[in-house]
Chains A and B, each alone.
Chain A
Amino acid sequence: MRLLHNYHYIGAVILFCIGLYTVIVRRNIIKKLIGLNIMETAVFFFYISLGYVDNGIAPIRVGGADPSKMVNPIPQALILTGIVVAVSVTALALSLVILLYRQFGTLDVDHLMRDEAEEAKEAGE
């Protein structure tokens, strides 16, 4: 059965769902960011396993390695880009979180939203 052959993809799906659950349910912003990173990892994992070949070797042409046995180099090159972008996004988000904590003294999303709503109500009156 094909679903059992593709068990790497199933792992990626499970990781993605765990990350999405964390993003939706957790109230702490840093935990939401961790969930976002888990989702990114799931996507990277999926891409890298797309490039795998049975009994494949690393795509490095040293010692007369056979090119037809090498794994697909394109997903690895793309995911290197993706990892750098993920690091950039995480750094930017974390610095915003630091600013938010300095301003409000809490990382709880519900508290933050309530503060916003109260302020809006006061400004309206």
Chain B
Amino acid sequence: MKKIISLLFISALGVLLLFVVASMPRMGDPESPTREHVIPRYLENAEEETNSPNVITGIILNYRGYDTSGEVTVIFCALACVLAILGREKRGRIHSYVDRSPVPASPVVKTMVRFLAPFIILFSVYTILHGEISPGGGFQGGAIVGASIIIFTTIFGLWEASRRIPQKFRVPLEGSAFIIFFIVGILGIVGGGNFLTYAWPNIANNLQPSVVLWLTIIVEIGIGLGGAMVLISILFAMMREEEAIAPTA
């Protein structure tokens, strides 16, 4: 009964949405209203103004830098809430975590993961550093690092993974995205502009493009590191089992 009612409700909603879709502009129309106002300006001027050929990176880090700094704050807050709810794994002492997988991973899988993990991390470094001239950027690269560590953790268990990425290395880097955004913003004020001004007015004009480029790369690295560490810490906090922590012999 409940299923039938919800099915009726959802099909009514679907029909309503389909009416909306039928009255929308044709998809792929170059003259459509979504391509007015600021879009042509971004596409024409982004390369000169933000010094990054990838217009999306220019928008995210430069035109809408405030937006992105709020975004890295959101992901940091998510980590803080997860740690407040679940608690961080204990520091200092070595605990043995029980391997909870019912079937141990086969040697083939272990060898492949051990072989592939460095290459995945190398690819993510490429993604982060080439974010301004090719598809990619800080968030994407950080997600790839996080994915490689997630593969490693699911195969080798939490204990092995937290030995390779110890807490004392992870904790200071978790906030790096927001800290680097803040430092770059303050540097913009010192350079004579507003908060998060990349092209400092106080320096020579011919130096400005390289300063903008390097600030963009620094912010990308900060977002990549911070995002990766936040993802890894969330995973470790979720996999931690309080009951499984055995006293060290």
Contacts and interface: CB of A to CB of B under 8 A. Distances in A.
Nearest to A50: B34
Grouping DSSP codes into helix (H, G, I), strand (E, B) and loop, the B interface class, with mixed when no group exceeds half, is: helix
A73 B21 contact: no
Contacts of B75: 84, 87-88
A2 to B, nearest CB: 6
A72 B74 CA distance: 25
A112 interface: no
Contact of A88 (B27, B77, B135, B137): B77
B26 A6 contact: yes
A110 B227 CA distance: 36
Interface string B14-56: 1001100111101111100011001110111011000001111
Contacts of A67: 40, 43-44
A1 B13 CA distance: 22
Contact of A85 (B11, B47, B74, B82): B74
A5 B18 contact: no
A80 interface: yes
Contacts of B55: 59-61, 70, 73
Interface string B52-65: 01111001100010
Contacts of A74: 38-39, 42, 59
A96 B77 contact: no
B6 A24 contact: yes
A8 B6 contact: no
A117 to B, nearest CB: 18
B57 to A, nearest CB: 9
Interface residues of A, number: 51
Contacts of B86: 95, 98-99
Contact of B71 (A50, A51, A84, A91): A84
Contacts of A62: 53, 133-134
Interface in A35-86: 49-54, 56, 58-62, 67-68, 70, 72-77, 80-81, 83-85
A53 B35 contact: yes
B85 interface: yes
A94 interface: yes
Given A25-B2, A75-B34, 14 more contacts: A2-B26, A5-B28, A10-B21, A13-B21, A61-B46, A61-B53, A67-B44, A72-B39, A81-B68, A84-B74, A84-B227, A87-B78, A95-B82, A95-B238
Q: What 4 A-B pairs are tightest by C-beta distance, nearest first?
A: A88-B78, A67-B43, A59-B55, A54-B28
17 contacts: A2-B23, A5-B27, A6-B24, A20-B10, A25-B6, A52-B27, A53-B29, A59-B43, A59-B54, A59-B56, A60-B133, A61-B47, A72-B35, A73-B46, A73-B55, A74-B38, A95-B234
